[in-house]
Structure 1
């Protein structure tokens, strides 16, 4: 059991007026500071955040950082599940403690760990800023996540066609699109619409590490994104958050038994979202989290996008890759954003091929070629590059019927729309098979049965 406590270091505040907090490892008597960069948020958006909104934001930040600070290979008996006990200060501890079992179930499912949480009284105000000018507060009626990925691009484009007074929220870090990538996409949105749209970006910095390494799975990143969105929704009295994600990735059934835990993330899985939703209601945060694409494949998202001219101009600015910062095995590296061989990239490539309306095809770090994938066993050293490709091909060769998809979904969690979800998964894997069959080298194609 790892025992942690969130503490107030010295009562100091950052340049936004937010209380400086830290995560303390009790056994090690060592603390890791919580550092937040909200990019000119209060100067630009001009609002005083409520304590309730900061409760949910800081809690999401703590969970994300703890997930990253505790390496599974050191702390988990089975190299995966960690036992985490944490004491967290909030402004309404009685309310949160009465509902903590719901959020514990959500986190257990999200990260694969065993969480034990106790909430206690926050001794100081989260936020103090007497110099804040609150004139001309912006108007917000809709909030949407904008990660810099392809799904969020489609979701943002569609929302701009349908709604007005939109606030896009973004978290930037080393695992995906950076601050400038997100801002560039938003600026192009702004230049292509007369509607009132705004952008709020933030970044959470890792403090001092407890161990020599961090955990690299980042299973709790989605809670961080949602925490930032919920923070804004609470302060602008918005009752709906849009979370754009294709259903294939959202459900993310394991491709094989070894991928059941570490490689099958649950960041937007409907079971997790429902549990989080139940918790929010229990602590009087009445905000609905909606994924309009839960029953759509990524290819269907692209094909049904409401502004294809804008979509086509921005596709190559997005990042889908889970390996975008690890370019050593890539054949091409300069100016390339996506590796081309991880599961996220394979779904991206198959969806764009399904869409079929682009005049140019983007370049990837690795193509589906036997030599670039290092499938030739005589090549030294043997690369780990093909792992995802082979896992996907072996899965496609199982040729599941709809009833098998339903069983696989149920093994993860019971969800609504089971039959429609199974059909969506089938369509998504058809997109992937079609792409590989039409575009891979002959040696790769022959692996498909």
Structure 2
């Protein structure tokens, strides 16, 4: 199977070939489930190809951050993919803010035959090795739900180690082996089959969510879990209002955007003949601190096995830089719950922040975060309309505006409670 990737902005073309410069996860899929239909192979190729194209086409800076990417994708089940083409292009736009054009090309093979798929209760959970997915497992275990964990593994060793560490923590805590389905999917440079080097790749990985949900949907199909696929992501990062206008574009991710989740559900329902499939986020209107509060004390004290940092593997062996927005949010969520972990390369909150240069990355992130939460300080429902004017992103049919803004109001309260313990932070509030 081949995928032609055209970067319309730079007029360059890259050819991806499964088993060569595209590792599509099929070997792992067959290892888990023994076989794969032609439609399942097609979907693995499509989702891994989109993810690899996202990595291969590097963004320009500032106002030129929007990319125009055209993919020509070979598939056996062309009619199935033509039916969801428009939905998929829209979902990719929501995820990445880029212009995607998909063209499916018929290749030889036997299309998947119609079949009545098994249907039973159970939850497939996206297991990233992060704090939210750790809480997601605990959440569903407390509901006595049968669960299966699906991980996407790329070439980031730190993330792989965090997934393994969190899984062992959970298995030890519950005294059982959770059902775990890891998949290795990435683009790579192989002799005669080029792929951009790390320094020439796009590092935002915004379409990883579609790949991740594809792996979860296919796993649910094979296991017979039809009712729920869960994407556990706290509301701060699922709704992900931009901290300020400068972050609306290149700095604003939409990995668990509720509208994307809706579109993904429709795509997999139609494509995989799973009419009653649901994709739900149990943490959509919870702050990260509220998500952490679900954890039992023993698990919370070992939360350093999870990773939240954007720079994981590029900092010290602590795997958290301490200065990016995810690190700041993680620290607030843990310390609000009286969990103090020595896991940050930089102890930003104790530094003399007011004396740092304006362009210091940690200072800039913290100031932006403080300015953002100040807008929700003391929130009352009567303030909703004025906040909607400031954040038009809330005009989203998949979001309950009132619940979302209440969640951000609680975030502000929780954050100020933590910052009150740090005199240097209080000086700049």
Give the TM-score category using the shorter length: 0.7 to 0.9
CA distance, structure 2, for counterparts of residue 339 and residue 367 of structure 1:
9
Cα gap change, 1:318/1:125 in structure 2, threshold over 3 Å: closer, same or farther?
farther
- In the alignment, which residue of structure 1 is the partner of 2:420? 437
Structure 1 residues 132-185: Cα deviation after superposition (integer angstroms, max 9, x where no partner): xxxxxxx99331111110000000122223235422111123568532321232
CA distance, structure 1, for counterparts of residue 304 and residue 388 of structure 2:
34
Does 2:395 match 1:395? no
Show structure 1 runs of 5+ residues with no match: 1-7, 9-20, 128-138, 328-332
Cα gap change, 1:62/1:124 in structure 2, threshold over 3 Å: closer, same or farther?
same
- In the alignment, which residue of structure 2 is the partner of 1:241? 229
- In the alignment, which residue of structure 2 is the partner of 1:17? none
Q: CA deviation at 1:368?
A: 2.6
Cα gap change, 1:428/1:369 in structure 2, threshold over 3 Å: closer, same or farther?
closer
Compare the two structures and name the one with the higher helix fraction.
2
Aligned to 1:154, the other structure's residue is in SS state: helix
Q: CA deviation at 1:205?
A: 2.5
- The match for 1:115 among 100, 113, 122 is 100
Is the contact between residue 240 and residue 254 of structure 2 (CA under 8 Å) also seen in structure 1? yes
Q: Structure 2 length as normaliser, TM-score? A: 0.83
* Structural RMSD (CA): 3.0
Aligned to 1:386, the other structure's residue is in SS state: helix
Does 2:341 match 1:364? no
Equivalent pairs, count? 400
Alignment of 1:40-439 (within 5 A): 42-43=30-31, 45-73=32-60, 78-124=63-109, 141-173=122-154, 177-193=158-174, 197-207=178-188, 208-209=194-195, 213-239=200-226, 240-283=228-271, 284-286=273-275, 287-305=277-295, 308-327=296-315, 333=316, 335-356=317-338, 358=339, 360-369=340-349, 371=351, 375-377=355-357, 383-399=360-376, 401-411=383-393, 413-414=395-396, 415-439=398-422
Aligned to 2:151, the other structure's residue is in SS state: strand
- In the alignment, which residue of structure 1 is the partner of 2:115? none
Show structure 2 runs of 5+ residues with no match: 113-119, 189-193, 378-382
Is the contact between residue 176 and residue 319 of structure 1 (CA under 8 Å) also seen in structure 2? no
Is the contact between residue 299 and residue 350 of structure 1 (CA under 8 Å) also seen in structure 2? yes
Q: CA deviation at 1:312?
A: 2.2
Q: CA deviation at 1:198?
A: 1.4
Is the contact between residue 123 and residue 229 of structure 2 (CA under 8 Å) also seen in structure 1? yes
Aligned to 1:304, the other structure's residue is in SS state: coil
Q: CA deviation at 1:364?
A: 1.1
Q: CA deviation at 1:338?
A: 1.2
Q: CA deviation at 1:424?
A: 0.8
Is the contact between residue 289 and residue 333 of structure 2 (CA under 8 Å) also seen in structure 1? yes
Is the contact between residue 22 and residue 34 of structure 1 (CA under 8 Å) also seen in structure 2? no
Aligned to 1:325, the other structure's residue is in SS state: coil
Q: CA deviation at 1:36?
A: 3.8
